[in-house]
Amino acid sequence: MHGQDFADDPQGVYDALRAFGPAAPVELAPGVDATLVTDYQAARTVLQNTTDFSRDPRRWKALNEGRIALDNPVLPMMAYRPNCLFTDGAVHLRLRKAVTDSLDQLNIGRIRRDVEPIAAFLIDQFSERGRADLLNDYAKLLPLLLFNRLFGCPAGIGDRLTSSMSAIFDGKDALKANEELTACLMELIALKRREPADDVTSWLIQHPAGLNDEELKDQLVMLMGAGVEPERNLIGSALLLLLSSGSSARGAGMLTEEALDHVLWNNPPIANYATHYPVHDVDLGGVPVEANTPLVISFGAANNDPSLREARQSLSKGAHLAWGAGPHACPAKSPATVIALTAIEAILNALPDLTLDVPADHLQWRPGPFHRALAALPVRFTPTPGTRVAALHAPAQTTRTAAAEPPRARTAPVPRQETRPAKKGFWSTFLDVFRV
């Protein structure tokens, strides 16, 4: 599942795996064996059964026996962290309540208000060119910048956080990037303990659960990991669907909400994950699964289970498994949907004649066992001035008058010193434009 063949045709691989039954043996990465659940009902059973299946990877037999190298590329996604993803029982309930209570303070109106200026800023960066890569110029950067805002990151920490998270997802020196990410988050936590504000980091710190710094850091890692990579894939795949459904995004006849729902059913952004470890040997619909071995849920395969073809016509839109199910279901379903919806509508409104720059079947998909992710989404459009940020500022600027400015004494000009400014990251550049 780690090769380009799988990335090019995952549904073909899932169809072949169905010959084994509701689950099948797979290789997630070189030397990492697992069992992949491809059947919809079997997936729901595992997701909802907390008695026979654990989420704690400290049970992982092969890892405990030293048969998995510590630099294996799937370990950052599978190794234990003290957060909601990898805990069970009372520990999980305590950590999850801190997360859900903090996320509940993010009302939908605030999320839209936070997404819109970021979208305007990013579109301004490429709108005059007439061409862009909507994946790397837009869908990838928007969630990173948004999470910096929601977490209350100052410029210095935010730039480093953005680059380290991007490097982890792109597999560029992931170990070093993970160290930098940890350092950034610990700095952020220390700052918010001293100077709490109206942001998710401060709310987590103030929660009655009393999370320590290590727990806080790993909840933030989980929130970023669960929000940034899936969000960019959801935005990218929905834009692809809209742009390939007709001559232009506006003429396609498909609503944005319909496109998002279609992606979640047929091309879920996180296609295979939610790893469970049977606490004893189990029989999963005739497929034996050994205790303490990885049992991975394939949302991509389960949602496309052939047995659902007729039932899908009557199933509710939310019956898919893209958000998971059971006690570990995604706690950020509503915010994630609003973010994607707002981001997509913002760019379609800004560039109404947006079209694909290459045929849809020529696009490349990034290899990897867990995600369903485009490598790029090249588009073309009529060049337009990059004035969207200025337009957002306009109402505030109209309240200023020359009379409000105090008189200034005339002074001799100061010789200009020629210095080359340090190159800024996207987050600090954004903050320079939108001072709040």
* CATH number for 279: 1.10.630.10
pLDDT single digits (tens) 94-121: 999 999 999 999 888 889 999 999 999 9
Residue 410 lies in a domain: no
Distance of CA 96 to the CA centre of its chain: 18
Residue showing tokens 């990492």:
32
349 within domain boundaries: yes
**Higher pLDDT pick, 180 / 43:** 43
Kindly state the average pLDDT of the residues 398-424. Answer: 43
* CA neighbours closer than 13 Å in the CB half-sphere of residue 415: 2
Q: Provide mean pLDDT across the span 182-209.
A: 95
Reported as a single tens digit per residue, the pLDDT across 349-366 is 999 999 999 999 999 999
**What pTM does this model have?**
0.87
Q: What is the pLDDT of residue 423?
A: 57
**Cα 29 to Cα 358: distance, rounded to the nearest angstrom:** 31
Sequence letter at residue 225 = G
CA distance 103 to 334: 10
Work out the pLDDT band at 412, boundaries 50, 70, 90: very low
Q: Does 414 fall in a domain? A: no
pLDDT tens digits, 364-394: 999 999 999 999 999 999 999 988 888 877 6
Asked if residue 406 is part of any domain, the answer here is no
Closest to 333 (Cα-Cα) out of 318, 345, 348: 318
73 pLDDT band, cuts 50/70/90, is confident
Closest CA to 329 of 286, 299, 357, 304: 299
- Give me the helix-helix angle, 213-243 and 155-170, nearest 10°: 60
The total of structural domains in the chain comes to: 1
The reported pLDDT for the residue numbered 201 is 95
Pick the residue with more confidence: 415 or 430? 430
Q: Where residue 171 falls among pLDDT bands split at 50, 70, 90?
A: low
User: Is there a domain that residue 119 lies in?
Assistant: yes
CA 27/CA 252 separation, integer angstroms? 39
pLDDT category, 161, cuts 50, 70, 90?
A: confident
Please check the confidence at residue 430 and state whether its pLDDT lies above 90.
no
Closest Cα to residue 26, out of 280, 277, 296? 296
Q: What does the DSSP 8-state code read for residue 318? A: G
Report DSSP state, residue 198.
S
CB of 369 closer than 8 Å to CB of 29 = yes
Q: What is the pLDDT of residue 395?
A: 54
* Confidence band for 408, pLDDT divided at 50, 70 and 90: very low
Quick one: pLDDT band at residue 398, thresholds 50, 70, 90? very low
Question: If pLDDT is split at 50, 70 and 90, which confidence band does 241 have?
Answer: very high
What is the pLDDT confidence band of residue 172, given thresholds at 50, 70 and 90? Answer: low
Q: Does any domain span residue 178? A: yes
Q: How large is the average pLDDT for residues 308-327?
A: 78
Report yes or no on 138 lying in a domain: yes
Q: What is the mean pLDDT of residues 332-344?
A: 94
pLDDT at position 246: 57
Domain of residue 323 covers 4-393+423-433
Indicate whether 401 belongs to any domain.
no
pLDDT at 404: 41
